[in-house]
Structure formats: structure tokens, C-alpha cells
Amino acid sequence: MTRDELVARLLHRDGLMLVVDKPAGIPVHRGPKGGENLEDYFDALRFGLPRNPALAHRLDRDTSGCLVLGRHRKALQRLMQLFKQGRVEKAYWSMVEGAPSEEAGEIDMPLGRLDAARGWWMKIDPLGLPSQTRWRVLGRGLSPDGAPLAFLELEPLTGRTHQLRVHCAAMGWPILGDRVYGSGKGDGAPPLHLHARRIVAPIDKHKPPTAVEAPVPEHMKATLHACGWSGASENVDEVPLAVDRHSGEEAMVMIMHGRS
């Protein structure tokens, strides 16, 4: 990753926030062992402001897609409050191993830490924090070896660590390529097929919510096509996307060309 490459992945920019298309395989911030991370390059995203933008939320190292940054302290506080209140709508695209028996549903399973030695690894825990995920099937297909796959849209109604990955695994259809909760272990395993496809953020009280979509990453395209995805939505400039649950206002989605 270079600063120019990060700027090229910018999906949205206004006076309050930025949305970057995070690539899979790189953490958003420096870990205890150091190493490359996106924050190292945030100085390229100042665009004339005196300070670097800052993370309003987190995405896992191997998750791709919409990553929201606050451009200054007041905007960051506003965004973090919206995330905490559950007012930022998030939709993830994923490919899971298996075949959900229904076409849509909601998972309501509390989550807790697996154990202190496993860091951020999580488990279903009746005494853990309430955790809800809404899901729906967008397509079905088969892997090259004939195993069933399903293309899901996941909407986390709460924001727990590894929530989508643990919930899908607990339902019997782990996310393809999940090295922790699924079968994505060993050489030759596919990358994690989890993509933060869309966010809708009512950051400006005087304007409709801002909605942004991230193009599908290359490592997910083949399996999405196997489940019926045509890729047609990648070429849309601006379309109605959602109604904010709190304000009732229609949001508009902006999609960058040349990134799919």
C-alpha cells in the first residue's frame, strides 16, 4: 500500500467525513507487533486540513469495503456517536459455505470473549452481550468441488467484535475463507469473503443521509458470479438506496467508476 493507492481508493469525501474502500489483508491500525496498517497513510487524506482524519469504526484485517473516517474532531465525535447509537446502517456482502434453509431471517445470539489467551476471538455466550444480525439470501450456487454456497447480505444490528463471522458459523454456514471460525485454514484456502458493501450515515442534520457503496473486490467476484451475481450494479452513478430508520429521509448512493 502507498499513499497514492490509498487516495485512489477514496469513495466519498465531504467536509465532515471520508469513506475509503479498505483492501482485504491489511489492518486499519497498528497492532502490538507493529507492521503495515492503513493509519500510517492517513496523512495523504488531509486534503488541506491540519490533522489527519481518524477512524470512526473498525474493520477486521481480512474484511474489505467501506471504512468511515472523521475529518476533524467534531465530525469524528458525531460519527462515533452515530455508530454507538446504531444509526449508521451497514450492509455486508458475504459468501457462506452451506445452504441456509430459509431465504431471510434474524440471528439473535449473545457474544462473549472466547478466552483471554485468544485475544479478540469470540463465541456464542448466553451471558455475553446482546448481538443481532439480519440476513437475506441474494443467490445460491456451488463451489468448484460441488459444495453448496450462498451469497448473503448481512446487516449487523449491533456492533460486536467478529459478530457476523461468529453468527454465520453458529448457524452452520461459516463465511468462506474464515480461518478462525470456518474452514479457511491451511495453504490454498481462499481469502475471507466478507465485504462492507454499503453504509448510510445521517451525519449532517440538515441534509439527507449520506450513502456509499464499495465495489466488489476481485477475490469475491468468481464465487459471486457462481451464485448468480451479474455485476450490473457496479456501473450505477447515483440511485436511491435507503430510507434512514430515524429521520425517514431517502439516502443517495455514490459509486466510483473504474474500481470494479
Distance CA 255, CA 80 (A): 23
What residues have CB less than 8 Å from 34, skipping those under 6 apart? none
Q: Could you report how far apart the first and last alpha carbons of the chain are, in Å? A: 18
Report whether 163 contacts 131 (CB < 8 A).
yes
In the set 21, 60, 178, 244, the catalytic residue is: 60
Instruction: Give the residue from 12, 131, 85 showing the smallest Cα distance to 244.
Output: 85
Report whether 86 contacts 157 (CB < 8 A).
yes
Whether residue 108 lies in the annotated active site? no
- Write the DSSP assignment of 173-207 as a string of letters: -PBTT-TTTSS--STTPPPP-EEEEEEEE---TTS
| Cα 222 to chain centroid, rounded | 19
What residues have CB less than 8 Å from 228, skipping those under 6 apart? 138, 139, 140, 141, 151
What residues have CB less than 8 Å from 131, skipping those under 6 apart? 107, 108, 109, 110, 111, 158, 160, 163, 167
Report whether 149 contacts 95 (CB < 8 A).
yes
For 113: left if phi > 0, alpha if psi spans -120 to 50, otherwise beta; the answer is beta
Active-site residues: which are they? Answer: 60
